[in-house]
Amino acid sequence: MSKTVTLRMDASVYERLRLHAQRDNRPLSNFIETAALRYLEETEHVDGYEMAEIRANTALNRSLKRGVADAKARRGRFV
């Protein structure tokens, strides 16, 4: 179910977004939603190449495993 959101933004930012949406021949709300989703996809997920680097980094993996073990055992200070 979609939700209605009210945004306050500078007039120049609004105009830039409106022009891009118009060029893509779609509503401003769809343009903003798509841009937000693309940002989330880029920042929340690791691509295959990055994941391969993470898996290949043995020192990092040892450190992560120690951290998980410490968290489960409630050792250390978590902030």
- pLDDT tens per residue, range 9-62: 999 999 999 999 999 999 999 999 999 999 998 888 888 898 999 999 999 999
Single pTM value for the model = 0.57
- pLDDT at residue 9, rounded to an integer: 96
Residue owning tokens 């680097």: 53
Residue-range domain boundaries for the chain? 8-45, 46-79
Task: State yes or no: pLDDT of 78 exceeds 80.
Answer: no
The first and second tokens of residue 65, run together, are 């495993």
Sign for the CA dihedral angle at 5, 10, 13, 18 comes to: positive
